[in-house]
Structure formats: structure tokens, C-alpha cells
Chains A and B, each alone.
Chain A
Amino acid sequence: MARAKSTGPVIKLVNISKEYGHDDTLMLALDGVDLTIEKGEFVAIMGPSGCGKTTLLNILGLLDSASDGDYELSGANVERLSSHRRAHIRSHEIGFVFQSFNLLPRMTIIDNVALPLTYTNMARYKQHKNASRLLKTFDLQEREYYMPTQLSGGQLQRVAIARALVNKPSIILADEPTGNLDSRASEIIMSELSDIHRRGNTIIMVTHNPDLTTYATRIIHMIDGKIARDTKHPEPVADPRKKRPLGKTSRKGASR
């Protein structure tokens, strides 16, 4: 995947539709969605349950394919690729952050972070070096050889974000990243995502929580499989840290 095509949009969806079921049970999860996302945007997708936002995220993440329409990722059409090729793109271009963290319980924290790299033929020591470096930026270097059960929810989600970043993806897809966290941990996770965004990453986040949209530069409201409203943030938060009740110094305490 040529990642150098930074001039164009990183994501371009043209008339994307997704149907489930047949005949009488036919359901349209996405109905002709057109969407262009530029590099460096922080997009929040909102909407009621069943409006198609998770389906959209799955299509963007190449976990699902659209029934109709075209999807260009970094300038290349990826909608008609083989499953093997799609997996290759997932491992190089896309980072996932899930609501339920989705760490593998049998693996240590560092192995979990390095997991996406095992599918890229990178040498094991390099995988660990990269994972370790990322965990350090999340202040988790002392937890490298802990098991996931030994960490709190907030810490687990930070590990999951580190895992999403380890393959230096073009886009980061987050599905309700704070859905399973309390408000303090949510703040920390959001400020981490905001940090990542400010470092130039493209983030697309699905959320129910309108408060979280203050971190985003663009908010998309979906209803019934269609984009109902697409607003660039009138006044993107200059420094999301201002919203944070707890200072950076007390982050460790808060996440515990």
C-alpha cells in the first residue's frame, strides 16, 4: 500500500451501501454514504443505536465489505480486494481500538501490543522494541510483562491504543473507546487520543457520548444509514487538556 499519496484524502467513500438479509428481511444498514476524510482529521461519528455507525466503521476497517459503492484508502480502491490482501492492508494501514479493549488474556501486555506486528514479518526483537517504546509513551513501561487481568480498565484501553498505533497506521478506528470506562478514565483516554491526533494521526471514532465530540475536529451524525449532518468543529478545542480535571502528573493515580 502506497502511503506516500498524502496529497489526496486518506478516505474516500462513494455511494457506499450495505444490506443485510434477503427479500422480506432485507435491511439497509448503510444507504448511499458519501464521505471524504482528510489526513489528520479527528472524526466523531454519532447517532442512535442501529443507525449504521458501527457498520460504517467495519467497512472503513476492511472487516466488512460494502454491498455497493467504492472505497478508496490512501488513494487506492480497496473494495474489491481478496480477503488476504485486505488482511494485509489491515495489518499495515489500520489501527483498531475497541470498546471492550479486546486484549488477548493469555498474552503479556507487551505481546499484546506487538501482536499486529507478528503479521508483518518483523523480527521478534524489533516487534518488542517498538511495543516497548510505545508503552513508554503511555507510561506503562513497568507493566510490560503484566497480564491483562492485572491492569485496570483505563490502563487496558491505553494498552489497546498502543497496540493500535504500533504498526504506524494511516487511520485509527475507535468504536466507543470509553464505553466501558468511568468518567475519569474516559478523560484520560480521550486526551491520549487527542495527543495522538495532534501528532498528525487520522482518527475516526464512533461514540454515543456528546461530551467526547469536543475533542473532534469534525462530527458526523448518522440516522437510518445516512449521514444526516456533517459539521466541521466550529471551534476545535485548542488544548483539550484544559477540559481535563486531573493534571498529567496524577494520571497514574487516576487510571488505577
Chain B
Amino acid sequence: MTVSAYIREGITSLRSTRVRTGLTTLGIIIGVLSITLVMSLGEGAKRTIANQITSLDKGIIIVKPGGVDQQAALSSYNPFSIASTSTLTERDLHSINDLKVTSAAAPLMFINGSVKFNNHTAKYAPIIATSPEFADLLKLKLASGQFVSNETNRDTVVLGHEAALDVLGNDQVRGQVIQVKGRPHTVIGVLDQTMAPINAIGVNLDRSAFINLDDGKSFNQGIAQISQLIMRASNPTTTSQTAAAIDGLLLKNHDGERDFSVIEGKDVAENTNAFYNIIVLITAAVAIVALVVGGIGIMNIMLVSVTERTREVGIRKALGASDRHIFGQFLIEALTMTVVGGIIGLLSAYIIAFFVATFFAFQPALTWEIVGIAMGLAVSVGVIFGLYPALKASRKDPIDALRQYE
């Protein structure tokens, strides 16, 4: 008996109990739908973030205070670290610059304060004191004006795109005077929208206000509280060696105390990927529970079907069906339900995913891996939960089976 004959018989039999088949298949549809949805959205988010981070350039090196190990570098980032004394100093900045293996390092100092205009405070606007190199390192583009530079006045500020819209209502705001931590600052430039809410330095640049490092120091009794140092290796192919050299240099500066960490751009991306993989895996594991419940539904209905069709099994055996034929028939019937459910679930998941994605800044991932995993799981559920009913049907004694309802 050919597989196509089995499938044809399976479909005939399933069509004769449409409502039951539909409801049973619904369990599989929901299971496959949730798994596919989680994986495609998770993978899409991961990709978008990874793209934003890697777009920064693989040659980038970030030094952070605190001796966090690299695996936890991203997840352990604490925005309240500005409240504690940073372990990075201007001396570190100068010694890195003196090493001449990187581009000029840009310091990042977070100022605890508000950005105001006419008593309207910008929401979630971090104030970042930095050097002119920062814009080059992060490839920031200006919508208008200029970035902070060594020539500019201390009381000047550059606004991120969203911060400008928030505090002043539009992005053509050069020359406007706003309050930064209570002191009047003249807006000298507005950044282009970066569309990258998550990036290697862990700050939403679109909402930030940038001031000169000297200006920042003046808010902190002249001391630089450096939260990050960002630089790019002069030779991107030897980023790891450069990072190691910086690590050695800083270790010497800090008297052998590893109270800082040196992170390469690629590590940031890898850590983020690992982090997202874990989240996707956990959610997918929960979604698999839905599929297993669907599988139990299949088994349940197939067992009912086997009992109802005992006589059919007897007739088929009398007419020449072997145990294997009967086994194949019932297994393929279960598989038909899970495969059809899998396909419908997969398609619905992508329709929902693309709809959901319109509310977020990323596209759901459509990969063969996800299709393969979802369909593979559907088929496995069909086999695992179809096995026992099929075995039960195939082992029926033809004489007893024929006697049923006689």
C-alpha cells in the first residue's frame, strides 16, 4: 500500500468527522502557532539588535568600570552606576590615548540632572558629557549644527532627535537656550534619528543631551566620573590584541586591581545574542507545552477513533490488511492532522507576527530553521502521540473486531 493511498484514506476518514478533526487539529495549530510566533519574533528582535550593535563596527572597544566578567557585561549594566564613584579616571583616558594603538578614546560621563525648556522637562533624557570623538566612533549623523567640539563654549548642548522634539517641539532648534541641570545651555546641534534604542553603550542616543566633558566635570566639582571609555582599534583585524594591550595598561594604572572591564564590539553582540537566545528558548519551551497538550488531544481522539472503527479494522484484516497496513493507516491519519495543523499554525503565526511587528521597530524573522523546527515538532508530536493508538488498532484480533456490534 503506497503512502499516497494511506494519506487518501486518512483524509477520507478525517473528513467524515469534520468537527472532531477540526477541534483536534486546532490544538496543534495553537501549539505550532505559539512556537513559531515566539521564535520568529524573538529571532527578529535578536537580529535587529545584533545588526545595530555590529553596525557600530567590530573594531570598537569599550572600557567599563567594575570588574564584571564579559559574559555578564551587558546584563549587569546598571544605569544607576552614576550614583557610585566610577573606577575609571581621566588618567586612564590619557594613558590609552598615549598608547597610540587606538583612535582617540571618547569618555562617557553620565550627569544626573534634567533637560528643561520653559519648565517643560524632557522625559528619560540622559545627559552625557563626552568628547568630540564620540560622534565619529558611534557614526552619529547630525540633522543640523555640530557636535560638541573643543572649540565650543562650555555652555552648549547637542540634543538627540527625540530629545529635541520632546523639549522644544521640533528639530530646527539651533540657538535656542535650554536648561541643562539648571544651567542655561545653547543648542548647537541636533542629531539625526539613530533608530537604535539599544546599542553597545546601553544608552538611548535619540533621547540624550550631549555636553562637553569639561562642562560635565563642572557639575561634579571638576572631577570626571567616567562611566565608559569608547575607542576604535587602529587596526580592526587586531582588535583582540589591542583590547588585551589596553587591559594590561589599565591593570597597571589600577595597581593590579581588576575593577574595570574591556569589551570588544563583537563581544557585545555575542552577549546580546546569548541573552536573547535564552529568552527565546525559555518562551519556546513554554510554547511547546501547548503543542504537547495538542498532541494529547490527538492521541485521545485517535484512541476514540480506533475503538469506534474496531469493526473496520476487522473487515480490513479479513480482506488482506496486515498489522503493518493497519498501523500505517492510523499513524498516517494522526500525522495528517498534525501536518495540516502545523502548516495552518505556521501560516497564521506569520500573519500574526507581521501584524504584531508593525507596532515594533523590527521585522519577524522568516527562516527555514524556524519553519523546519515548527514542522519537525508537529511531525514528532504526530508520531509520538499517534504511535500508541496505531499500535492498539494494528493488534486487534480480526475475529473479535468483526464480532463488534454484530
Q: Chain A interface (Cβ within 8 Å of chain B)?
A: 58, 61, 63-64, 83-84, 87-88, 90-92, 94, 96, 98, 100, 102, 104, 106-107, 115-116, 118-121, 124, 163, 167
Cβ–Cβ contact B402 & A88, under 8 A: no
B83 at interface (Cβ–Cβ under 8 A)? no
Quick one: given A58-B399, A98-B402, A106-B12, are A87 and B317 in contact (CB under 8 Å)?
Answer: yes
Q: Chain B interface (Cβ within 8 Å of chain A)?
A: 1-2, 5, 9, 12-13, 16, 311-312, 315-325, 398-399, 402, 406
* A–B complex contacts, Cβ < 8 Å, 8 sampled: A84-B322, A88-B320, A90-B317, A94-B320, A96-B319, A102-B311, A115-B319, A124-B5
* Chain A residues with CB under 8 A of B325: 87, 119
**Most chain B CB inside 10 Å of its own CB: which residue of A88, A92, A115:** A115
Of A84, A91, A102, A120, the contact of B402 (CB 8 Å cutoff): A102
A-B contact count (CB 8 A): 64
Cβ–Cβ contact B316 & A115, under 8 A: yes
- In angstroms, Cα B323 to Cα A100, docked, is 23
Contacts A87-B317, A121-B1 known; 20 new A-B pairs at CB < 8 A: A83-B322, A84-B322, A87-B320, A87-B322, A87-B325, A88-B322, A90-B317, A90-B319, A90-B320, A91-B319, A96-B318, A100-B406, A102-B402, A106-B12, A115-B316, A116-B319, A119-B1, A124-B5, A163-B319, A167-B320
Cβ–Cβ contact A63 & B319, under 8 A: no
Quick one: given A83-B323, A88-B320, A116-B320, are A104 and B406 in contact (CB under 8 Å)?
Answer: no
- In angstroms, Cα B406 to Cα A96, docked, is 16
Cβ–Cβ contact B319 & A119, under 8 A: yes
**Most chain B CB inside 10 Å of its own CB: which residue of A61, A90, A118, A124:** A118
Cβ–Cβ contact A92 & B320, under 8 A: yes
Cβ–Cβ contact A91 & B399, under 8 A: no
* Chain A residues with CB under 8 A of B402: 63, 98, 102
Of B311, B312, B320, B399, the contact of A119 (CB 8 Å cutoff): B320
**Most chain B CB inside 10 Å of its own CB: which residue of A83, A84, A88, A121:** A83
CB of A53, distance to nearest CB on chain B (Å):
14
The 9 closest A-B CB pairs, nearest first, are A91-B320, A87-B322, A119-B320, A116-B319, A90-B320, A106-B16, A102-B315, A63-B398, A84-B322
- Who on chain A is nearest to B5 by CB? A118
CB of B19, distance to nearest CB on chain A (Å):
15
- In angstroms, Cα B394 to Cα A87, docked, is 12
